Amino acid sequence: MKQAHYAVIIIITACFFLAFAESCFLRRSQVSLGPPDKRPVFSVMVEDGTEAAILQQSLNLEIVKMEGNRLYYYDGNAALTEKLKQVGYEQINSEEELRVYKKYVKLRLPKSADTTYKDLADMLSRQQIQVITREKDHWVIYGTLGALNNIKHSGNILQNLNYELKPREIDNIIY
């Protein structure tokens, strides 16, 4: 009787251990799709990088990024907006952080037969998400946090990228 009792205790302990290990793995691999900084982001159109550098130096702008001719910057007070208006920048836009920040993540491929790879690729292109690499069990994708959130809420599994992206190496032997 005692041996059966010990076997049950061992089985229950093993189940708790496996459940704990799985929850730790899932927590570690889940991707955070919130903005990395909570400060408000604004944008303004500039001609080139030189103009952006002059604005950064003269007005002490803290630049988030520059994409095309649009300069994204943090704005914590109204005084900076007033300085930009005095210098001649009229169209200053408040930006949604989920559209400003971009991220590389792993997309686990569905194991069910109801979603094909073509359907998945079409859904990603509609969200303006780029497929960087296609691996056997996952794809590496790149997109805005808002688009990645839409993909995640549609039932897909996104995970942190736990390796550095490198171009593929091919050895060509010429005889």
Q: What is the full per-residue pLDDT of the chain (175 aa) written as tens digits?
A: 556 555 556 666 554 554 444 444 444 457 888 888 888 888 889 999 899 999 889 888 889 989 888 989 888 777 888 888 888 888 788 888 888 899 999 998 777 656 677 888 888 999 999 999 888 888 999 999 999 999 888 888 889 888 777 777 777 788 7
Q: According to the 3-state scheme, what is the secondary structure of the chain? A: CHHHHHHHHHHHHHHHHHHHHHHHHHHHHECCCCCCCCCCEEEEECCCHHHHHHHHHHHCCEEEEEECCEEEEECCCHHHHHHHHHHCCCCCEEECHHHHCEEEEEEECCCCCCCCHHHHHHHHHHCCCEEEEECCCEEEEEEEHHHHHHHHHCCCEEEECCCCCCCCCCCCCCC
Tokens of 76: 């914590």
pTM score of the predicted model? 0.69
Q: Are 163 and 51 in contact (CB under 8 A)?
A: no
